[in-house]
Structure 1
Amino acid sequence: MNARRLPQRKRFSGQSFNRMLPNMMTLLGLCIGLSAIRLGLNDRFGAAVIALAVSAVIDGLDGRLARLLKATSRFGAEFDSLADFLCFGVAPALLLYMWSLQSWGAVGFLPPLMYASSMALRLARFNAALDSAPKAAFAYNFFTGVPAPAGAGLALFPLFIGLEADQLHLSWLHSLVAFPLFTGAVLVAVAGLCVSTLPVWSFKNFKVPASSVLPVLVGVVVLAAAIFADPFGAGVLLDIVYVAMLPFSLQSYRKLAREAEERRAAADQPEPDPAS
């Protein structure tokens, strides 16, 4: 007598949690960026700036987490770019418009419009580069133009100073940096940096010498303490350091490009004939 066969259970099919986790982090960052806009509408600009900083930290982690979990996908890359456009393109532009430029009406809306449009173009160029021919090995250590999170930080420079001036009760400094001409000029300048072809260090493959590991860790601790103690003053300092770094980044790129060209030229030269 044949034994009765038990019905086989259907195997559950779907996405694993590991593959969903990076996209969930991107979605979390997107929600925080949207919340920053809501905080700005309620005149809580300090909380809005902190929300964008948290969104930037999440943006720096989700891609690395996807590579670590081997969960990278084209969907994730496109979703990340859309989230970046809202968090680092639309949100900073709207915050600065509500904080400073609104008093100039339609004219005051032009710098935020230019900044958000430039950020969209910058992100579209980045996505298009994913399908282009491979770059030289050294070029992977550089962004083309200022990346979106750094661009948002630079755009918020007047707001950083204004919030710091409020804490120090320096009304004259607040009035100076909140003047629409200054805020608009900063937005336009940052928009130009985002769509430029300026090579900017990415720090993704940055290697720290063994002798410098401890000083770097100590520096990170000092930076974290400064951010917690005075986040807006730390934002001002980081923006100044970042802008000061750009000429050195360009110099480094040109040096590496020149060395690569010299190696290519040397490899193309014919070897001397030993019989001659």
Structure 2
Amino acid sequence: MSADGPEIVRRGGLPFRALAPNAITAMALCFGLTGVRYAISAAGAGPIAHWEIAMACIIIAGILDGMDGRIARLLRAQSKFGAELDSLSDNIAFGVAPALILFLWSLQFAPRFGWIAALALAVCCALRLARFNARIDADEQPHKSAGFLTGVPAPAGAGLAFVPIYLWMVTGMEIFRDWIVVMPWVLFIALLMISNVATYSWSSLRLKPSYRIFALAGVGLLAAALITNPWFTLLIICAGYLLLVPFSMAAYGRVKRRRREASAPAAPGAPS
């Protein structure tokens, strides 16, 4: 080995494979901010299609957010920098951007508290992400150890907050744009994000081998539905997600009971 060998290794820099997941995270951030740009245009007497573009940008940001972590693990390119960038991107794309879009679309017409409701969504998203980051290295994480999440994750929260917009786009009824309808819903979703409700994560879902072919067919049909009728399909997805929340709470309750029974000391005289 030449004398320059170790220096080349030391100064070699970051491998390209480590940049790929961070680049996807940065793209998600950019799509989130681009959604705000089109919402501003639509609110300023722009075409209605700009609302659809704004929504599509947030949806694409959610898809990218689901990809970056998996690609990082696949490439073995996890890093502290990537984790911090991902958290910042999530806060902007799924907290700040949806809050501004909902404000420009409806909440700005509320007489007093429209901006407060929009702020609540953004702040609760930031608090949820901060709680997740604070607990990431904690030894005691009951929900995570059982395969559940604590509260509604940020991308899902953003998608649920847009339900009034989905209804408006599907039906064309202005009642769904009324701040009296939108404000309570936004506050409800904001509270769900910072709640201690146990929600399903990908790791908690299990499929029997005999169901895999049906699951693949379902994913293909879902993709087709998103292309042909995106807003109605997203509305169905959000309804299904909310319907799963009571089941996830019940499932976690069963896990807690089993853990208590397993850790409880045996009664005196009971067979060991």
Shared fold (TM-score, shorter chain, > 0.5)? yes
Taking a change above 3 Å as real, the CA distance of residues 108 and 7 of structure 1, as seen in their structure-2 partners, is: closer
Equivalent-residue separation in structure 1 for 2:258 and 2:144 (angstroms) = 10
Check the 8 A contact 2:148/2:204 in 1, yes or no: no
Taking a change above 3 Å as real, the CA distance of residues 138 and 100 of structure 1, as seen in their structure-2 partners, is: closer
Q: Offset of 1:8 from its aligned partner?
A: 4.8
- Greater mean deviation of Cα atoms: 98-107 or 184-193: 98-107
* Aligned equivalent of 2:54: 48
* Aligned equivalent of 2:116: 110
* Aligned equivalent of 2:17: 18
Check the 8 A contact 2:146/2:255 in 1, yes or no: no
1:93-108 correspondence to structure 2 within 5 Å: 93-104=99-110, 106-108=112-114
* Aligned equivalent of 1:180: 179
1:191 aligns with 2:197: no
Equivalent-residue separation in structure 1 for 2:77 and 2:88 (angstroms) = 18
Check the 8 A contact 1:138/1:256 in 2, yes or no: no
* Aligned equivalent of 1:121: 127
* Aligned equivalent of 1:221: 220
Q: Deviations over 1:16-54 (max 9, x none)?
A: 011111111100110111111101111111011111111
Equivalent-residue separation in structure 2 for 1:60 and 1:93 (angstroms) = 21
Q: Deviations over 1:140-184 (max 9, x none)?
A: 411100000000000000011112224xxxxxx2x1100001111
Question: Structure 1 segments of 4 or more deviating over 2 A?
Answer: 6-10, 104-107, 134-140, 204-207, 268-274
Q: Offset of 1:216 from its aligned partner?
A: 0.8
* Aligned equivalent of 2:137: 131
Taking a change above 3 Å as real, the CA distance of residues 137 and 34 of structure 1, as seen in their structure-2 partners, is: closer
Equivalent-residue separation in structure 1 for 2:156 and 2:228 (angstroms) = 21
- Greater mean deviation of Cα atoms: 48-57 or 201-210: 201-210
Q: Offset of 1:185 from its aligned partner?
A: 0.8
Aligned with residue 150 of structure 1, among 148, 156, 172: 156
RMSD across aligned C-alpha pairs, in angstroms? 2.1
Aligned length: 261
1:69 aligns with 2:69: no
Equivalent-residue separation in structure 1 for 2:258 and 2:217 (angstroms) = 33
Q: Offset of 1:256 from its aligned partner?
A: 1.1
Q: Deviations over 1:48-84 (max 9, x none)?
A: 1111111001101101111111111222111111100
* Aligned equivalent of 2:46: none
- Greater mean deviation of Cα atoms: 100-109 or 197-206: 100-109
Q: Larger radius of gyration, structure 1 or 2?
A: 1
Q: Offset of 1:107 from its aligned partner?
A: 2.2
1:248 aligns with 2:247: yes
Check the 8 A contact 2:31/2:58 in 1, yes or no: yes
SS of the residue aligned with 2:199?
strand
Taking a change above 3 Å as real, the CA distance of residues 101 and 135 of structure 1, as seen in their structure-2 partners, is: closer
* Paired letter, 1:132: A
* Aligned equivalent of 2:33: 34
Q: Offset of 1:136 from its aligned partner?
A: 4.8
Aligned with residue 79 of structure 1, among 85, 102, 116: 85
Consecutive unaligned residues in structure 2, runs of 5 or more: 43-49
TM-score calculated relative to the size of structure 2 = 0.89
SS of the residue aligned with 1:207?
coil
- Greater mean deviation of Cα atoms: 49-58 or 201-210: 201-210
